[in-house]
Amino acid sequence: MLLERDTSLASAAAEAPLRIASSLSILEADRGLTRAIVVARLPRLAARDAARGLVALAAVTVVAEMDGQVLEHARQIFPVEPVRSLDALHLATALLFRQELGEMTFASCDRRIRENAAALGFPLLPP
């Protein structure tokens, strides 16, 4: 559920030595979970398990807060435009962390954000 039912991405994330996500990613997962509960797409017990999974994932993830530097980077023109605002924030966060840490892999199942991440030189998960 938290990874849109993509087990290959979940497996890869579990094996990664370091996981980085923007606070926006955690918020989006939480809101998706709430939405699934409200529209009765997810039974209460499954929702409780998913919520625990989100807490566990966040506990072993470096969570990057949105700050002025991220917002400034998100204003740039990306290789594959148009880019939605939230996607620009994810990409900007990844670019800033890559400047600090060097080579890193970008994990997403969203086609539009994957196109930009690939064009920016990120290896992708799932492949």
83 CB-side CA count, 13 A: 23
**Omega before 79 within 30 of 0, i.e. cis:** no
Average pLDDT in the 45-69 region?
88
Q: In the beta sheet, which residues pair with residue 125? A: 107
Q: Is 11 a residue whose pLDDT tops 60?
A: yes
The structure's pTM equals 0.83
End-to-end alpha carbon distance in the chain? 20
pLDDT interval class at 8 (50, 70, 90): low
CATH number of 7-125: 3.40.50.1010
pLDDT exceeds 50 at position 2: no
Q: List, in sequence order, every residue forming a beta bridge with 62; answer none if it has no partner.
A: 20
